[in-house]
Amino acid sequence: MRRNDNGTKARIAIVGAGFAGIAAAVTFKRHGLTDFVVFEKSDGPGGVWWDSRYPGAEVDTQSHVYSFSFQRHEWSRSHAAQPEVQGYLEETIDSWHIRSHFRFGTKVDAIRWSDEHSVWLVKTSAGEEEFDFVVSAVGLLNVPRYPDWPGLNDFQGDVFHTSRWDTECRLDGKKVAVVGTGSTGAQVVSRVAAVAGKLYVFQREPGWILPKTIEVFGDDQRAKLSKPWPYRLRRWKAFLKVARDAKGGDIYVPNSPANEAAVARCMNYIEEAFPGRPDLQKLVTPTYPYWGKRPVMDSNFYKALTRDNVELVPSAVASVDESGVYDANGTKRDIDVLVLATGFRPAQILSQLPVFGRGGRSLQEEWGDEPMAFLGITVPGFPNFFTMYGPNTNGAVVVYLLEQQAKFAARSIKLVLRHHAAAVETRRSYYERYNVWLQKKLSGKVFDTTNNYFRSRSGRVVTQWPLTTWHYWALSKLLWRLSSRLDRGATS
Ligand SMILES: Cc1cc2nc3c(=O)[nH]c(=O)nc-3n(C[C@H](O)[C@H](O)[C@H](O)COP(=O)(O)OP(=O)(O)OC[C@H]3O[C@@H](n4cnc5c(N)ncnc54)[C@H](O)[C@@H]3O)c2cc1C
Cβ atoms of residues 290 and 262 within 8 Å: yes
- Residue bearing the CA closest to ligand 1, atom 11: 398
pTM value surpassing 0.85: yes
The answer to whether the CB of 400 falls within 8 A of the CB of 36 is: no
Atom 52 (ligand 1) nearest CA: 48
- List Cα–Cα distances, 251 to 128, 389, 438, in angstroms: 47, 21, 17
Instruction: Report the distance separating Cα 135 and Cα 114, nearest Å.
Output: 16
pLDDT of residue 26: 98
Greatest alpha-carbon pair distance for the chain in Å reads 77
Measured by CA distance, the residue closest to atom 18 of ligand 1 is 398
Ligand 1 close to Cβ of residue 397 (< 6 A): no
**Helix, strand, coil shares of the chain as percentages rounded to 5?**
35, 20, 45
Amino acid identity of 439? Q
Q: How many angstroms separate the CA atoms of 415 and 11, rounded?
A: 15
Which residues have CB under 8 Å from 361's CB, separation 6+? 381
Q: Give the closest residue to 52 by CA, choosing from 75, 91, 95, 85.
A: 85
Residue 108 pairs in a beta bridge with: 124
Chain centroid to CA 212: 19
Q: Which amino acid is at 364?
A: Q
Position 313 scores a pLDDT of 98
Pairing relationship of beta strands 108-114 and 119-124 according to DSSP bridges? antiparallel
Q: What backbone phi and psi angles, to 5 degrees, belong to 357?
A: -95, -150
What was the pLDDT predicted at 5?
Answer: 45
Burial of 315 per CB tally in 10 Å (0-12, 13-18, 19+): middle
DSSP secondary structure string for all residues of 187-206? HHHHHHHTT-SEEEEE-SS-
Binding site membership of 18 for ligand 1 (Cβ less than 6 Å): yes
Q: How far apart are the C-alpha atoms of 338 and 335, rounded to whole Å?
A: 7
**Separation of CA 260 and ligand 1 centre (Å):** 31
Answer yes or no: is the C-beta of 426 below 6 A from any ligand 1 atom.
no
Cα–Cα distance for residue pair 150/423, rounded to 1 Å: 50
The string of DSSP codes covering 280-339 is HHHHT--SS-TTSSPPEE-SSHHHHHTSTTEEEE-S-EEEE-SSEEEETTS-EEE-SEEE
340 pocket-lining for ligand 1 (C-beta < 6 Å):
no
Contacts with 260 (C-beta within 8 Å, 6 or more apart), sequence order: none
Long-range contacts of 311-314 (CB under 8 A, 24+ apart): 311/198, 311/199, 311/200, 311/201, 312/201, 312/203, 312/280, 312/283, 312/284, 313/200, 313/201, 313/202, 313/203, 314/203, 314/283
Q: What is the CA radius of gyration of the chain?
A: 23
Q: Which amino acid is at 414?
A: K
Q: What is the DSSP string of 81-93?
A: BHHHHHHHHHHHH
Beta bridge partners of 103: 39
Residue type, 327: D
pLDDT tens string, the chain, 492 residues long: the values are 555 444 557 999 999 999 999 999 999 999 999 999 999 999 999 999 999 999 999 999 999 999 999 999 999 999 999 999 999 999 999 999 999 999 999 999 999 999 999 999 999 999 999 999 999 999 999 899 999 999 999 999 999 999 999 999 999 999 999 999 999 999 999 999 999 999 999 999 999 999 999 999 999 999 999 899 999 999 999 999 888 888 888 999 999 999 999 999 999 999 999 999 999 999 999 999 999 999 999 999 999 999 999 999 999 999 999 999 999 999 999 999 999 999 999 888 888 899 999 999 999 999 998 999 999 999 999 999 999 999 999 998 999 999 999 999 999 999 999 999 999 999 999 999 999 999 999 999 999 999 999 999 999 999 999 999 999 999 999 999 999 999 987 554
d(CA 5, CA 420): 12
16 lines ligand 1 (CB under 6 A): yes
Cβ of residue 212 lying under 6 Å from some atom of ligand 1: no
Q: Which helix (H) or strand (E) holds 463?
A: none
* Any ligand 1 atom below 6 A from CB of 20: yes
Question: What's the CA-to-centroid distance between 48 and ligand 1, angstroms?
Answer: 4
Beta-bridge partner residues of 77: 216
Q: Supply angle C-alpha 16, 360, 104, rounded to 5.
A: 20
Q: How far apart are CA 98 and CA 28, in angstroms?
A: 11
Could you tell me if 280 and 312 are in contact, meaning their C-beta atoms sit under 8 angstroms apart?
Answer: yes
* 238 CB within 6 A, ligand 1: no
For 338-398, give the DSSP string: EEE---B-TTSTTTTS-EE-GGG-BHHHHHTT----BTTTB-TT-TTEEESS-TT-BSSSH
Cα(67)–Cα(451) distance, integer angstroms:
30
